[in-house]
Amino acid sequence: MERRNRSKAPLIMLMLLCVCVSLAAGIMIGRNNVISSPVIDFFTQNEADRTVKGEAPVVELQPAPEYTDGGYETTDIFEKVNPSVVSINVYAGTSVSPISSGTGIVMTADGYIITNAHVVDGGTSVNVVFNDDTQVRGTIVGADEDTDIAVIKVSATDLTAAEFGDSSTLKIGERVVAIGNAGGLSGTCTQGIISGLNRDMSSSSRSLALIQTSAAINPGNSGGPLVNRFGQVIGITSAKIAATDYEGIGFAIPITDALPIIQSLIENGYVTGRAVLGVQVIELNESNGPMNGLPRRGAYIASIESYSDLLNKGVRERDVIIEANGVELYSTDDLMEQLEKFSPGDTMNLGIYRPESGETFYVDVKLVEAR
């Protein structure tokens, strides 16, 4: 099988946009790069604070108005949306200072708020600040690291919920506005256009088809709204490219794709129906494989969860997954592409290479549901 070049861009940094005490978090876009995130918790999910669960509210995507003029003035868009935008400060343990801060979008009048998973990562308590400076303690309902989406719940009523638009109808060149807590400055509003659609950017686990925008976004914008010219939220601001010679390349999660994730987080605290193997893997390449006596490709098994069926099939740590469903693996993305074809309870055939003996053997592994 001929090796494929999966790299999307040369050595540019995709920055997550929460404001952190340490340097801004980032990962390399190159598919075969594992230096920036050497151990990928690829098929398991960390437990989130799931004390607040309930029936997911119905959020209807509103069609854009029928008239085809330039839409609302930017000042009118800001006045419409800003009451639905909050600042989020995240704390860990008994820390007085926040470990990160970002932005959130009020989804319902009774207190469900959308943000990014990386904003609340590592946090044990959340403080939500509304545009009138009212502060409320929030609870993390659930967070999905794979899609970088999280939901927070506050005890409040009569909040101003945002209006959501259909991101599947977007066109390149449309005017958009980003609102958020940029650099800790709440209520920051920037304007640009949709520069691209379905941008396949790699996170630390799976690929995300994102909206690309020229609207200026900065650390602190994470979790905030990307809004169309009619004041409808069509994306959740998530990341930007930050490197020398790159400017005006920001990304947002399409709201149409995000809603099913959000609803599952509210109802279950995690995303249901996602099949996993139950392992942590490290992607092998021409550099890190041979120097450690391992193959030049495949997924090196760093650890196996106790519930994984791999243990029942004699697979162990330090083995390498080199094939899935007859497809040779050159990256963890290759493995994910095969895995996404299955549901929990299905059986997946894997080719396993054992470095100690140099043998390759095949096993049929039963997949489980990610939690």
Catalytic site positions: 118, 148, 222
Distances (CA, A) of 95 to 36, 90, 126, 158, 322: 27, 10, 12, 31, 44
**What would the two tokens of residue 11 be?**
């050595």
Beta-carbon-side half-sphere exposure of residue 53 (alpha carbons within 13 Å)? 13
Spatial separation of the C-alpha atoms in residues 164 and 355, rounded to whole Å: 52
Distances (CA, A) of 344 to 143, 144, 274: 20, 18, 7
Alpha-carbon torsion, ordered 56, 211, 18, 208, to 10 deg? 70
What lies within 8 Å, CB to CB, of 209 at 6+ separation is 198, 199, 200, 254, 257
Distance of CA 46 to the CA centre of its chain: 14
